[in-house]
Amino acid sequence: MIGVIGAGAFGTALAITLARKGTPVRIWARDPATVEAINTRKEAPRLPGVRLPEGLTATTDLAEVTQAQTLLLAVPMQALSGMLAQIDAPLAGKRLVACCKGIDLATLTGPTAVIASAKPEATPAVLTGPSFADDIARGLPTALTLACGDDATGAEIQAELSGTTLRLYRTTDTTGAELGGALKNVIAIACGACIGEGLGDSARAALMTRGFAEMTRLAVRLGAQQQTLGGLSGLGDLALTCSSELSRNYRFGLALGRGEPFDNALTVEGVKTAEAVTRLGAKLGVDLPICAMVNEVSTGDTSVAEAITYLLNRPLKEE
251 and 300, same domain (yes or no) = yes
Work out the percent of the chain whose per-residue pLDDT is above 70.
Answer: 100
Q: How confident is the model at residue 3 (pLDDT cuts 50, 70, 90)?
A: very high
Residue 158 lies in a domain: yes
- Tell whether 232 is covered by a domain: yes
Do 37 and 68 belong to one domain?
Answer: yes
Q: Measured between alpha carbons, how far is 73 from 101 in angstroms, rounded to an integer?
A: 11
pLDDT at 251: 98
Q: Are both 29 and 163 inside the same structural domain?
A: yes
319 occurs within a structural domain: no
Over 90: is that where the pLDDT of 319 sits?
A: no
Residue list for the binding site for substrate: 101, 248-249
Structural domain boundaries, residue 285: 175-312
27 - beta bridge partners?
4, 58
User: Which residues does the annotation place in the binding site for sn-glycerol 3-phosphate?
Assistant: 101, 129, 131, 184, 237, 247-249
Q: Summarize the confidence of residues 160-176 as an average pLDDT.
A: 98
Residue 80 has pLDDT above 90, yes or no: yes
Q: How many domains does the chain have?
A: 2
> 184 and 164, same structural domain?
no
- Is 161 found in the same domain as 77? yes
| 317 belongs to a structural domain | no
Annotation: binding site for NAD(+): 6-11, 133, 248
- Looking at 140, 172, 204, the residue that finishes a domain is 172
CA proximity to 245, closest of 290, 291, 181, 196: 196
CA max distance for the chain = 61
158 and 179: one domain? no
> What does the DSSP 8-state code read for residue 301?
S
Task: Confirm whether 163 is domain-assigned.
Answer: yes
Within this chain, do residues 56 and 167 fall inside the same structural domain, yes or no? yes
Per the CB < 8 A criterion, the answer to whether 102 and 32 are in contact is no
Cα 174 to Cα 180, 181, 185, distances in angstroms: 10, 11, 17
Of 100, 50, 105, 41, the closest CA to residue 75 belongs to: 100
CATH number at residue 124: 3.40.50.720
Domain end residue (candidates: 157, 172, 187) = 172
Burial class (CB in 10 A: 0-12, 13-18, 19+), 65: buried
Active site residues: 184
